[in-house]
Structure 1
């Protein structure tokens, strides 16, 4: 059985610094005035968390924290500054993402528009939209990213400043993410 989540837009990339958070911020700025957006930033890397983050749930396998600080330069701060109503930062290995997803299914309705920066979640859900970003002229793409690219609704590039696809081409209507025609 497929786990379809039309209210979730996933953003993944072919590596670090390919513009995932920047594109998410541009999308939030484009839509925030119309929707009560929630962002979930997922990292498979564990490190000490900022004291400003509010730990919501913590196990040996994952941490879910809520960002409450609009100041700062962390990705979660930037998503909040862009206009997301709530921002969560998650540290979890991919095999524990179903537990994380289960937590969010309990606190967010299917009508809540969600933007999640996570490639790993694509292994467990079929989102409304799945966007894949590559840095221009990057030919050193990991096999896993190539696999995700085949599942992506849109694959586009970032040249260090701009994208060859713009956030205004995306809409959230009837509880579903779509690319405008």
Structure 2
């Protein structure tokens, strides 16, 4: 249930994108916001390249979790809360202990939480449901932590300072899981926006060889106790990855339980 957002560098719009996502999806369910600040060493260089803010020097132990309660300040965590997040947490953690830190935080949040998280370094130890990275259209520079994880990005989002080359409406959240439906083509300045992607299931009918409708073959899955028709399992796996799912079948009424329009 985690959407992770990284960035190529500072001030490229990572928090703006996170806030936009939270604002859209928090209307229908609780979203937890997380900001992670990774510290190389307590007495080392500030991760933002400055000094004197106290973030690194004030860290006691290997990590610290703070819950944001103020939605009126300009802090990134405050902005996430103001955008509609039910809870927002700030994890400050030593680079070498990031696994320990995120494990402790996730224990607090709970396993079923839907999360929007800002971090690059976390991608090295956690595989989220979706990983987006934001970069400036005016810069080709990637900071070290971004270079290490950009190969894992599901989508590189480009910011021009006022908006993104990314339609947030393409994001899907179903059953607590984030996904980004595949597109049939890349955006083109002449052809317009991405085309919608459709999956077609050829459900057919009774098999002469098997003597039964193959689409109704019962199969077991890891997260369900009772066997289910294979067509139901396939539809479940495709939802969220495609804009539209079509089913071709000889007997439409047999598949009415799926809830598709006919």
The TM-score bracket by the shorter chain reads: 0.7 to 0.9
User: Which one is further off, 102-111 or 82-91?
Assistant: 102-111
Aligned match of 1:168: 169
**Long gaps (5+) in structure 2:** 40-45, 47-52, 182-241, 243-262
Asked if the contact 1:12/1:132 (under 8 Å) is kept, the reply is yes
* Partner of residue 48 from structure 1, selected from 44, 47, 54: 54
CA distance in 2, matches of 1:76, 1:140: 25
More deviation, 30-39/93-102: 93-102
Q: What is the 5 A alignment of 1:76-155?
A: 76-155=77-156
Cα displacement string for residues 116-161 of structure 1 (whole angstroms, at most 9, x for unaligned residues): 1011110111110000111112112235423322110111101111
Query: Which residue number in structure 1 is paired with residue 66 of structure 2?
Result: 65
Indicate if the aligned counterparts of 2:129 and 2:179 stay in contact, CA closer than 8 A.
yes
Q: Which residue of 2 aligns with 1:27?
A: 21
Correspondent of 1:10 among 4, 8, 25: 4
The aligned residue for residue 52 of structure 1 is none
Deviation of residue 96 (structure 1)? 1.4
> Of the two structures, which has the highest relative contact order with CA contacts closer than 8 Å and spacing of 6 or more?
1
Tell me if structure 2 keeps the 8 A contact 1:110–1:175.
no
Offset at residue 108 of structure 1 (A): 2.4
Moved more, 161-170 or 136-145: 136-145
Query: 1:94·1:121 contact (CA, 8 Å) conserved in 2?
Result: no
Contact 1:113/1:172, CA 8 A, preserved across alignment: no
Greater radius of gyration (CA): 2
The root-mean-square deviation of aligned C-alpha atoms, in Å, is 1.7
Shift in Å, 1:37: 0.3
Q: How many residues align?
A: 167
> For 1:91-136, what per-residue CA distance to the aligned partner results, in whole angstroms no more than 9, with x for missing partners?
1122211111111232223321001101111011111000011111
Q: TM-score, normalised by structure 2?
A: 0.60
Verify the 8 A CA contact 1:132 1:148 in the aligned structure 2: no
TM-score by length of 1: 0.85
Cα offset for 1:171? 1.9
CA contact (8 A) 1:14 1:132 kept: yes
Q: Which of the two has greater strand per residue? A: 1
- Distance (whole Å) between structure 1 residues aligned to residue 72 and residue 159 of structure 2: 25
